[in-house]
Amino acid sequence: MASYTIVLLSLFISCFSILLLSLTLSSVLLVSITTAGSFHQHININWGEERAQILESGQLVTLTLDQYSGSGFQSKDEYLFGRIDVQLKLVSGDSAGTVTAFYLSSQGPAHDEIDFEFLGNVSGEPYIVHTNMYTEGHAGREEQFYLWFDPRQDFHTYSIIWNPGRVIWLVDDIPIREYTNHESKGVPYPSRRPMRLYSSIWNADSWATQNGKIKTDWTKAPFTASYRNLKIDACVWESTSSCESEESTNSPPSKPWMKQQLDDGGKMNLQWVRKKYMVYDYCVDYKKFVYGIPLECKLRKMPG
């Protein structure tokens, strides 16, 4: 009996020592976390009051837009690099004029931002997925796509991979866009400012549907989008640290997304999406860029 007690005591001391070491490290380093499950743990409702609801013991979020206000949530933490996944079911029926947004953003006038925006449409017409990138407060890097399914009928997974080398947008784990870091050639890239995760639904009928020709039909309100299975695999920002230490080492990263890039299969899927479903590419908008397309467009290598 005495030996059994000693073994238990030794195990307890070992576990307690590991816990103390973990807590000590997390207090001084940028903490790499993987989180899933309850929305209560990881987000705050930041807009819309009762129009935003956390339901089913934290497993479901609904955001609603009516003629008085939209609604939204934000993550409790800021991140510098990571992978964010969420399952989203978009507004059904006539959603013209509405935008459901899922994005990362820093603060301040020279902010960085990585966007998914879903542009509502009249019943029977497809949603447009609008992606964009802000660096140092400058946007204008829009790409738009149709989807190969009806996003109103069921939940689908939308993901952002953001690492020091690239940003990848994915739908059901299929890449639809890749933006490569060309800072060494003078192209700004979101690599220094921590970002929070945000999501919102709002009225944008000045531009969202057919360039603003179709306005929101408020007789169809309220408009509701639903979220589940939020997964955050990211580095939580702390003011004394950065993610650059892991990038600078030669050892394999503790998080595979930190150096993730498209393999041959991913490049083929990206090419398929862009060939069949792309609606708009800023890199070929010569009316917008009358003095020449942006430098990153010239540097971009398309799969093929």
Q: What is the pLDDT of residue 302?
A: 55
Q: Is the pLDDT of residue 99 over 70?
A: yes
pLDDT band (50, 70, 90) for residue 30 = very low
Rounded Cα distance, 146 and 148, in Å = 7
Q: What is the pLDDT of residue 137?
A: 84
**Average pLDDT, integer, range 21-27:** 31
Looking only at the bridges linking them, the beta strands covering 98-105 and 113-119 are antiparallel
Active site residue 117: yes
Check 49, 50, 117, 247 and give the catalytic one: 117
Phi, psi (rounded to 5 degrees) for 272: -60, -45
**Mean pLDDT value across the chain:** 85
Q: Is the pLDDT of residue 35 over 70?
A: no
Q: What is the pLDDT of residue 300?
A: 85
| Token pair listed for 276 | 């069949």
Q: What is the pLDDT of residue 43?
A: 96
Q: What is the pLDDT of residue 255?
A: 83
Give how far Cα 282 sits from Cα of 121, 252, 285, 288, Å: 22, 35, 5, 8
Q: Is the pLDDT of residue 27 over 60?
A: no
Q: What is the pLDDT of residue 29?
A: 32
Condensed to tens digits (0 to 9), the pLDDT of residues 131-174 reads: 999 999 888 899 999 999 999 999 999 999 999 999 999 999 99
Active site residue 143: no
Task: For the full predicted model, state whether its pTM sits above 0.95.
Answer: no
Per the DSSP assignment, residues forming a β-bridge with 211 are none
Q: Residue 164 carries which DSSP code?
A: S
Condensed to tens digits (0 to 9), the pLDDT of residues 249-296 reads: 554 556 889 999 999 999 999 999 999 999 999 999 999 999 999 999
**Average pLDDT, integer, range 221-231:** 97
Q: Is the pLDDT of residue 246 over 70?
A: no
pLDDT band (50, 70, 90) for residue 67 = very high
Q: What is the pLDDT of residue 59?
A: 95
Rounded Cα distance, 183 and 211, in Å = 33
Phi, psi (rounded to 5 degrees) for 273: -65, -45
Give how far Cα 234 sits from Cα of 80, 108, 163, 245, 260, Å: 7, 22, 10, 15, 13
**Are 46 and 74 within 8 A, CB to CB?**
yes
Q: Is the pLDDT of residue 86 over 70?
A: yes
**Average pLDDT, integer, range 85-102:** 96
